[in-house]
Amino acid sequence: MPRLLPLLLKISLPLVVLDQLTKWWVVFNLKQPYLPYQTYPYLAPAGEFKGKYWLASNHVDLIPVIDGYFNINRVHNQGVAFGFGNGTDWAPIVFLIVPIVALTVVSLLWKKGVFVGWAKWSAPLLVAGVVGNLIDRLTQGFVLKGYEGESFWTRLSEGYVVDFIDVTIPFINYRWPSFNVADSCICIAASLLFLSAFQAEDKVKDQSK
């Protein structure tokens, strides 16, 4: 069983750096979307800045990469996948604690030898994804327009994950919820864990012959 730390340095660290570089580029180059947070900010009504609500008429700020299929689009997500939990009072706190728990669980399972076969590569990918999005939740609330005069804890609680990869699936014309590099790492890790289960079954069958 290889040590986890070298894998974290070789795989997780570069992915976290890439994740943060892309997110901060988006934050500094694309306009802040509608608040409170929505998975699809382009559905928000146009208007003006009022207290904590940003209703800029030009809040839709897309950079087309492949016209009609792939855009760069700044989206704030306080929830998890598909925007679950967005706009709720509990999401910022719950989803700030969950990543810390997840990192602890990954470490414990690694020590128990659970990550074997293809699953070995899922551990550093999971860590990269969890850490990348956790950094967002700890920092992004402090750069929000409209919260400059709020307390430290208020701004911390307004943390969110920056999603920016905006993809439309061809043929079915379905616009997939925006995601980021960290999300991609978590999805790939989940796929590897799923495949490793079949790998383990095949190994058991071979040993039983």
* Residue 11 and residue 124 in contact, taking contact as beta carbons nearer than 8 Å: yes
Do the Cβ atoms of 54 and 33 come closer than 8 Å?
Answer: yes
Q: Which member of 166, 183, 202, 206 is catalytic?
A: 183
d(CA 3, CA 8): 9
* C-alpha–C-alpha distance, residues 132 and 147, integer Å: 23
Q: Which residue has the tokens 């800029």?
A: 56
Q: Is the peptide bond before 36 cis (omega within 30 degrees of 0)?
A: yes
Q: Is 19 an active-site residue?
A: no
Catalytic residue among 163, 166, 202, 206: 163
Tokens 């864990």 correspond to: 193
Closest listed residue to residue 127, CA positions, set 2, 9, 5, 12: 12
DSSP label at 170? T
Task: Respond yes or no: is residue 89 known to be catalytic.
Answer: no
Known catalytic residues are 163, 183
